[in-house]
Amino acid sequence: MRQYELVERVKRYNPAANEDLLNRAYVYAMQAHGTQKRASGDPFFAHPLEVAAILTDLHLDDATIIAAVLHDTVEDTEATLEEIRRLFGDEIGALVDGLTKLKRLDLVSKQAAQGENFRKLLLAVAADVRVLLVKLADRLHNMRTLEHMRDDKRRRIAQETLDIYAPLAARMGMQELREELEDLGFRFLEPEIYGTITERLLRLTAKSGRMVEDIEHVLSDKLSARGIEAEVTGRQKRPYSIWAKMERKSLAFEQLSDIFGFRVIVNTLDECYAALGVVHTSWPMVPGRYKDYISTPKQNDYRSIHTTVIGPKSQRVELQIRTRAMDEIAEYGIAAHAHYKDVSGRESEGSIHPKLATESGAYQWLRRTIELLAEGDSPEEFLEHTKLELFQDQVFCFTPKGRLIALPRGATPIDFAYAVHTDVGNTAVGAKINGRMVPLLHELSNGDEVEISRSDGASPPAAWESLVVTGKARSAIRRATRAAVRRQYAGLGRQILERAFERAAKSFSEDKLRGALPRLARATTEDVFAAVGRGEMFSGDVVRAVYPDHRDERRPAGQAPVNGAGRLVRSPDQTMRLTFNGSGEVSPDAIPIRGLAGDLPVTFAPNGGAVPGDRIVGILTPGVGVTVYPIQSAALAAFDNEPERWLDVRWDTEASGSERFPARLSLQSINEPGVFAQIAQVIADHDGNIDNISMKRRTQDFTDITLDLSVWDLQHLNAIIAELRSKRPVSSVQRVNG
């Protein structure tokens, strides 16, 4: 695209465009990119020009067009952000800065990195959504030229496009851009399926002949006869949309009845309903296929009437009826908001305002999504929650006071409660739908009136997390569960510390503990209690932090002090032994302890075991040996009054060998066929071994499962736990420390 062509494209919709600034940006970017080439062999400068051209079709303002022309300069050339700000102003500089940050964090396939990068993407567009529009246009042009990339990179970028960018464009209401992104991503991910569907569409079009034109003429004539001026156009569904419906509803291509759709564009709101009346009195309506998105718009501001009728020649006809203004928003979404006030405060029309219609539903959804960033979820959880909302269609429900709540299809009263307010969800105990009591897992339908029953003492069960469908509900349930677990650990930690101070004959108070917080590297006393309860901090360390002159004297009978000096080592016969020397220091030769029955054998806690990586403690039983427990084991409370039996031990990480160690897991799963097969497959895939299993049905819907495993170390065990938690039927997984 030539320099004058870019200016002409902008001035067609914005005669007051800053021609000089556009020309300077063109020349600056062209000189900055110089002889750089793309993977296709084309000059690199062609890419930012094509991105700018896409945005001129959306009638965006000068600053956005210029930012598109300059968006790769800071990242890929010698240009600096300071120079951009000096030459083109702070507004354009801020846009280029946001786009440069996004380019540096291009999404990768690993879930954690992808989640973190998506958080950054949304944060970058929070202040100015034009950054997102340029990013979407940038992705669209890259997809149009994707055939020049390596196959692995091509598939990765195509998958990202279907996972993130196409749904995000849909949420911003940019239907045309979304459909092209979906089709391009589908073509590169599934080329054979794409080719098959395209071929069948061509055959169907040839077979249908003038059917589309005939229906257009019949509809136009009927509307004109009633005095309604309307533009009727027919269109064919795109390959990706067809494939998605076939997959979603398990249909064959021949079973699809809405491959051709028709759009009726009228001038006024009243004419929308008048046109609907003409259609419904001319042809029978297909039950269940009528949706009024004018009275209840979608969250991305989409407004239209959808209906399906048995039309001419008994052909099923899908119709969308809307005004021209609604059609513009339906196609261009948030970029279609053209009314704004200029700097002098006058109402104006033309290119989009820099703040881009911040009152639009699409932008409000974006802001609400960004608010989730403050909730402390991990990047993986945030990506999971946001994808749930990106991909789902919606149902519209009402509170008893008439407030409209939009939810993803498949939502439950629990999702509804959290959509109203987090506190409502956390205290929900029952629900009424249209005046009738229903289970909290009941699936909501369009138009339902939902009333939530609450109890102040209630808290959400952890199992709810796997049963709700909205990101907000999952996030809130997960936070509430973590808070409850933290409170339990803190309570346990307080009890442990009170006993530890009592054994040391020292007074215990939170005020004294608060003074020792810097030495314990914790912010609050609650953090200390929770750390002790979880086994992350030894109670003796807390006592010494509060009373630095305190010395803990624990002695096994007839032996020298071994506090902190024990070491688990592997003997030649591959059994584990505890070793130390008389002075309390770890012996480099690993001399075994001598007890009443020779070397002291080491066994592991009978209910849960211990694995390398755990902080551990040994309990000495004369004549028997040492039993090793994880430091967080509740069973250790039985030995609180016998400090002489306690041994501080640690793993010999340098010991060679390939021995597995015992661990126990407690799972709660949904009752459905194949659950145990999924669990066993996860353990097998991670090279774990199941030693024992017990199952008990707790309720009609849930089963408690206890697994005894053999694993290599704590990292190995945590990997198994993480994978089990990712399985949909598994509602919770906890390690048992007996």
pLDDT at 452: 92
Do 663 and 735 touch, CB atoms closer than 8 A?
Answer: yes
DSSP string for residues in 7-66: HHHHHHH-TT--HHHHHHHHHHHHHHHTT-B-TTSSBTTHHHHHHHHHHHHTT--HHHHH
> Which is it for the CA torsion 8, 14, 18, 22, positive or negative?
negative
Nearest to 248 by CA among 95, 409, 382: 409
d(CA 228, CA 584): 97
3-state secondary structure of 283: coil
d(CA 407, CA 470): 8
Instruction: Determine whether 16 is exposed, middle or buried from the number of CB atoms within 10 Å of its CB (0-12, 13-18, 19+).
Output: exposed
Q: 96 to each of 21, 129, 356, how far by Cα in Å?
A: 15, 13, 17
3-state DSSP percent of the chain in helix, strand and coil, to 5: 50, 20, 35
Do 324 and 337 touch, CB atoms closer than 8 A?
Answer: no
**Mean per-residue pLDDT pooled into runs of 10, the chain (738 residues):** 86 89 92 88 90 89 91 88 91 84 47 53 65 88 90 87 82 83 92 91 81 86 91 88 84 77 92 93 87 82 88 80 88 57 35 43 58 51 52 70 78 91 90 89 85 86 84 83 80 80 84 85 85 76 83 44 41 42 35 32 80 82 73 84 72 59 89 86 89 83 88 89 88 84
The string of pLDDT tens digits covering residues 217-263 is: 888 999 999 999 999 998 888 899 889 888 877 888 877 767 888 99
For residue 27, give both structure tokens. Answer: 């020349």
Residue 161 per-residue DSSP state: I
Instruction: Determine whether 415 is exposed, middle or buried from the number of CB atoms within 10 Å of its CB (0-12, 13-18, 19+).
Output: buried
Instruction: Determine whether 13 is exposed, middle or buried from the number of CB atoms within 10 Å of its CB (0-12, 13-18, 19+).
Output: middle
Residues whose CB falls within 8 Å of the CB of residue 74, separated by 6 or more in sequence, listed in order:
80, 81, 84, 96, 97, 100
Nearest to 56 by CA among 335, 406, 275: 335
Could you tell me the domains of the chain?
3-190 (1.10.3210.10), 194-336 (3.30.460.10), 480-546 (no CATH), 567-648 (no CATH), 661-736 (3.30.70.260)
What are the beta bridge partners of residue 309? 285, 317
Confidence (pTM): 0.53
Residue 620 half-sphere exposure toward CB, CA atoms < 13 A: 28
Q: Which amino acid is at 99?
A: L
Q: Active-site residues: which are they?
A: 75-76
E strands present in 593-681: 594-595, 598-599, 602-604, 616-621, 625-630, 646-648, 661-670
Buried b (16+ CB within 10 A) or exposed e, 647-657: bbbbbbeeeee
Other beta carbons within 10 angstroms of residue 457's beta carbon come to: 6
3-state secondary structure of 724: helix
The string of pLDDT tens digits covering residues 48-94 is: 999 999 999 888 889 999 999 998 898 888 888 899 999 999 889 88
> φ and ψ at 308, to 5 degrees?
-130, 130
